[in-house]
Amino acid sequence: MNVRRFDFDSLCSTNDTALALAGEHPGEVLLVTAATQTGGRGRNGRTWHSPVGGAWLSLAWPCPREPEHYQAAPLLAGLAVIETAGALLPHDADLAIKWPNDVLLNGRKLAGVLCQRQLPAAVSTSHATPANALIVGIGVNVNLDPALLGNDLRRPATSLRQALGHEVNLSAFSDALIADLTQRMARMEAHGLTPAEVAAIEARMLWRGQTVNFQHNGASKQGRLEGLDQYGRLILQTATESLTLASGEIEQLHAF
């Protein structure tokens, strides 16, 4: 796969730069990396802390097909992180995907994914609009000290260095991650998620079989987290119906 690479010491956000570069290089797969980000972003305008020592990168993926062909991209990115990190960690390391975009290691946040669409100029931003490119932004805490991330985090963080007790070769890690992800993206574009990928993600899914609170656009539903459909959508069994959900957030419901 031909990937055009742009490596920077510092950027505001690799996603912003990838969005801009995708407009200048239509039809090409681009990779943007930065050693640090000054305005790293999470979902819903949240801040992503990006000191030196993390893998902060964005893949710009041209999208000739309809949007639904790419909807599992955040999960594939999470799976690519799990495969790449899992190759370095002991077998009993607990790597989990918190649907749709977090990777946890031993219950702490190791990585996050932020996907954005680069749309053609002067078209509506409706989700039915085919995008020129999908930007898959991935942040992985590789060699940094999680204590430096501040105390305003929504859940505790970790890093590979913290879990392993030693540093990891950051550029080799990023290269392996991108090689894994680009292969999966190409396959997903052509054939959808493979049954093996659905099974691998389900096997790592946080709170599977448990009752969760699902939220999207201010509305919430409670139900049992059953697993995924073939497109990577969440299947939630409420008291009255089985729901298939494409985007949103889940949190565990604690019994009182």
- Binding stretches for ligand BT5 (CB under 6 A): 13-15, 37, 40-44, 46-49, 56-58, 101-102, 109, 112-114, 137-139, 141, 149, 153-154, 157
Number of helical H runs and strand E runs in the chain:
5, 12
* C-beta of 136 vs 236, nearer to ligand BT5: 136
At its nearest, how many Å lie between ligand BT5 and the CB of residue 145? 11
202 close to 186: Cβ distance less than 8 angstroms: no
* C-beta of 41 vs 117, nearer to ligand BT5: 41
At its nearest, how many Å lie between ligand BT5 and the CB of residue 94? 16
Give 193's DSSP letter.
Answer: S
93 close to 164: Cβ distance less than 8 angstroms: no
233 close to 216: Cβ distance less than 8 angstroms: no
Which neighbouring-strand residues pair with 116? 135
At its nearest, how many Å lie between ligand BT5 and the CB of residue 110? 7
**C-beta neighbour count of 24 within 10 angstroms:** 8
* C-beta of 59 vs 225, nearer to ligand BT5: 59
At its nearest, how many Å lie between ligand BT5 and the CB of residue 40? 4
* C-beta of 149 vs 201, nearer to ligand BT5: 149
* C-beta of 139 vs 223, nearer to ligand BT5: 139
At its nearest, how many Å lie between ligand BT5 and the CB of residue 171? 16
* C-beta of 65 vs 216, nearer to ligand BT5: 216
CA distance 179 to 200: 18
Rg of the chain (C-alpha set): 18
Nearest-CB residue to ligand BT5?
A: 112
CA distance 184 to 80: 8
CA distance 225 to 213: 9
At its nearest, how many Å lie between ligand BT5 and the CB of residue 150? 8
